Amino acid sequence: MYYFYILNMLMCKKNSNDCPSPLGIGYSSKSEPINKIMIGKDGNNYIVTENKEWLKINDLSDYISNLSVNFYNYGYKPIVHKLTDETGLEQKFGGKKPFFIKGEKWPSVGKYNMTFFGQLYDPRNNKNELYRIFIMLDDDGIQDDYWINKIELNDENLKNQVIIKKPKYEEDIKIESKESMEFPGFEITNWEKFSELKTLNEIRKAFFIPNYKYQYDNTLYNIIHEAYYKSDKVPSSGVKVGGTPMSCQDNDNIQSYDFLQISYAKFLPYGWGDAGIAHVSEDCNLMWDCC
């Protein structure tokens, strides 16, 4: 097979010097895998089709935006409005009244109580589970401590619901201004389904673009990187459930945190520290991703 590949390349070079595609520089589409992208003799991008032919790509960003469903992840963006009344059962970011049942204690770290961040369902499934998120705040802002729990909204738990009348953190003497310790309340009224590209590394591997960078591959690596981030399907760094988790640093290290992603947004007017993205996993862990 190796000798056939070398012979094929030599024949390409001999017979296709005038071909503008990669065939003109010695790469036969018959010997390359389907979906492999290369740069042609004319400097344009070409891809190997299912018919094992070179196809010129005029706009790589547009091409990437119209890939098959196998190249996308599906997620949900929250539709919200400002919270005016709380029953403890609504899905929400911020607010003062989480869903509690008799016997539960307000989450705390030592003698200091945490701040309620919000509660929501996973819109990707029909499980009757409510995620509840608390984080530790002080006058300097957000700390690393958090408490995340999911509780089943069965008949027994609904029957034993306790309405919180006063958030516990208001009782902490260390907080000089309770207003600075509260998150603005926004109710999640619906979820909008969307699709976005998988990570850049997954797309790169699908097109057989090497991870290392030198000479020819360096040029192609940079081209696919630019086209990916120009695509109208580039993953969002905003607030969402599912989709493709985004990172300020290395996206491949956060793929297990694919439940909730939180960052600055106009209806959630708060970020994490100076800048960053927070990720919550289905098993109730949180990771701060500081930029």
Domain assignment of residue 16, given as a range: 1-58
Residue 64 lies in a domain: no
Enumerate the β-bridge partners of residue 276. 290
Residue 267 lies in a domain: yes
Could you give the number of structural domains in the chain? 3
- Model pTM? 0.80
Q: Are residues 170 and 200 in the same domain?
A: no
Question: What is the pLDDT, as a whole number, of residue 252?
Answer: 58
Digit-by-digit pLDDT tens for the chain (291 residues) are: 444 444 444 445 444 556 888 988 889 999 999 999 998 988 899 999 999 999 999 988 888 888 888 899 999 999 999 998 899 999 999 888 999 999 888 888 877 788 888 999 999 987 889 999 998 876 555 667 889 999 999 999 999 999 876 665 555 544 444 545 667 889 999 999 999 999 888 898 899 887 655 544 467 888 888 889 888 899 988 899 999 998 876 655 677 788 998 875 555 555 544 557 888 999 999 887 766
Question: What is the pLDDT, as a whole number, of residue 154?
Answer: 94
Residue 256 lies in a domain: yes
Residue 9 lies in a domain: yes
Question: What is the pLDDT, as a whole number, of residue 183?
Answer: 78
Does the CA dihedral 48-50-53-58 come out positive or negative?
negative
Q: Are residues 39 and 2 in the same domain?
A: yes
Within 148-276, residue ranges assigned H as helices are: 155-159, 200-206, 215-230
Question: What is the pLDDT, as a whole number, of residue 17?
Answer: 57
Residue 248 lies in a domain: yes
Question: What is the pLDDT, as a whole number, of residue 151?
Answer: 94
Q: Are residues 168 and 28 in the same domain?
A: no
Q: How many helices (H) and strands (E) does the chain have?
A: 5, 17
Question: What is the pLDDT, as a whole number, of residue 246?
Answer: 87
Question: What is the pLDDT, as a whole number, of residue 124?
Answer: 92
Q: Are residues 147 and 277 in the same domain?
A: no
Distance CA 280, CA 104 (A): 22
Distance CA 52, CA 50 (A): 5
| Terminal Cα distance for the chain, rounded | 48
Question: What is the pLDDT, as a whole number, of residue 173?
Answer: 45
Q: Are residues 225 and 248 in the same domain?
A: yes
Question: What is the pLDDT, as a whole number, of residue 139?
Answer: 56
Residue 260 lies in a domain: yes
Residue 204 lies in a domain: yes
Q: Are residues 270 and 210 in the same domain?
A: yes
Q: Are residues 149 and 229 in the same domain?
A: no
